[in-house]
Amino acid sequence: MTSTEAEELEGAGPIPALKLPLPSRIRIFLVTWVLKTLVKVVFGIHHRLNPPPPSQCPTFVKTYPVRPRLTNRVFIPQSLENNDPLPLYIDIHLGGFVIGDPWWDDAFCSHFCNMYNILVVSLDYSKAPSARFPIPVNDITSLVHAVLSDGSLPIDKTRVVIGGFSAGGNLALAAVQSSEIRGKIHGVVCWCGITEWVTPIQTKLQNRPYRDAKQADELKHGAPSFAWGYISPGQDLRDPRLSPIFTERHMLPKWLFFIGAEYDMLCREEQEMIMDLAGLEGTIREDGKYGFEVGTYRWWMVRGVVHGFTHFIPFESADDRKLRLQRRDEAFVEVGEWLFKGPFAHRI
Which CA distances in Å does 210 have to 50, 191, 205? 35, 20, 10
Mean pLDDT over 249-272 rounds to: 96
Are 123 and 102 contacting, i.e. CB atoms less than 8 angstroms apart?
yes
3-class SS of residue 283:
helix
Half-sphere CA count of 179, side-chain side, radius 13 A: 0
Q: Which helix (H) or strand (E) holds 162?
A: strand 155-165
* The pLDDT of residue 257 is above 90: yes
Q: Any idea which of 59-63, 111-115, 215-219, 320-324 has the lowest mean pLDDT?
A: 215-219
User: What is residue 10's predicted lDDT score, i.e. its pLDDT?
Assistant: 54
The Cα 221–Cα 191 span in angstroms is: 20
CATH architecture of 3-341: 3-Layer(aba) Sandwich (3.40)
Q: Of how many residues is the chain composed?
A: 348
Asked whether residue 3 carries a pLDDT value surpassing 50, the answer given is: no
CA distance 246 to 267: 17
Backbone angles phi, psi at 123, to 5 degrees: -95, 150
At position 94, the amino acid (one-letter code) is L
User: How many Cβ atoms from other residues are within 10 Å of residue 129's Cβ?
Assistant: 19
127-169: per-residue pLDDT in tens?
999 999 999 999 999 999 999 999 999 999 999 999 999 999 9
Domain segments of the chain as ranges = 3-341
258 closest CA partner among 220, 209, 300, 310: 300
d(CA 317, CA 323) in angstroms, rounded, equals 10
Backbone angles phi and psi of 302, in degrees to 5: -85, 120
For the stretch 278-325, pLDDT in tens is: 999 988 898 999 999 999 999 999 999 999 999 987 778 899 899 999
- CA gap 312, 331 in Å, rounded: 15
The residues near 269 (Cβ < 8 Å, ≥ 6 apart) are 1, 194, 195, 196, 199, 204, 245
Asked if 63 and 71 touch (Cβ cutoff 8 Å), the reply is yes
For residue 81, the model assigns a pLDDT of: 78
Edge-to-edge order in the sheet of strand 67-75: 60-64, 67-75, 119-123, 86-92, 155-165, 187-191, 255-263, 297-306, 291-294
User: Which residues have CB under 8 Å from 249's CB, separation 6+?
Assistant: 277
